[in-house]
Amino acid sequence: MPDTELQIITSGVPDGLCYTNPTYDLQNIIAPYLRARFTGNEINTGSSTPAAADRTKPWIRTNSDGTDDGTWVFYAGYWVQKHPMAVGSIILWEGAVADIDAFDGGETAAITTIAGPFWERATGFDARSPMGPGTLPISSTVVNVGDAFGEERHTQTEAELATHNHEFDTSDGQQILAQVTSGKVNDINRTGSLDYAFADPVQDTGSSTPFNVVHPVRICLFLRRTSRLYRRRAA
If we measure between CA atoms, which residue out of 130, 126, 102 comes closest to residue 228?
102
Question: If you average pLDDT over residues 9-19, what whole number do you get?
Answer: 63
Q: What is the pLDDT of residue 29?
A: 59
- In terms of Cβ atoms closer than 10 Å to its own Cβ (0-12, 13-18, 19+), residue 94 is exposed
% the chain with pLDDT above 70 = 66
Residues 55, 74 contacting (CB under 8 angstroms):
yes
Percent of the chain with pLDDT over 90: 44
- pLDDT confidence of residue 179: 39
Tell me the Cα Rg of the chain: 38
Nearest to 74 by CA among 94, 98, 57: 57
User: In the prediction, which pLDDT does 185 show?
Assistant: 45
**Please, where are the H alpha helices in the chain?**
26-30
Q: How confident is the model at residue 170 (pLDDT cuts 50, 70, 90)?
A: low
* C-alpha–C-alpha distance, residues 89 and 118, integer Å: 11
pLDDT above 70 (res 231): yes
Q: Higher confidence at residue 16 or residue 184?
A: 16
Longest Cα–Cα distance of the chain, Å, equals: 116
CA atoms 221, 227, 229, 233: torsion sign: negative
Most confident option among 86-95, 125-134, 214-223: 86-95
CA distance 214 to 5: 65
Confidence of residue 156 (pLDDT cuts 50, 70, 90): confident
SS3 of 63-88 = CCCCCEEEEEEEECCEEEEECCCCCC
Q: What is the pLDDT of residue 158?
A: 85
Tens digits of per-residue pLDDT, 27-79? Answer: 565 666 666 665 556 899 999 999 999 999 999 999 989 899 999 999 999 99
pLDDT in tens, 183-212: 444 444 444 444 444 445 566 777 888 888
Q: pTM surpassing 0.75?
A: no
- What is the C-alpha separation between 34 and 14, in angstroms, rounded? 13
The reported pLDDT for the residue numbered 1 is: 39
Residue 83 CB neighbours (<10 A):
19
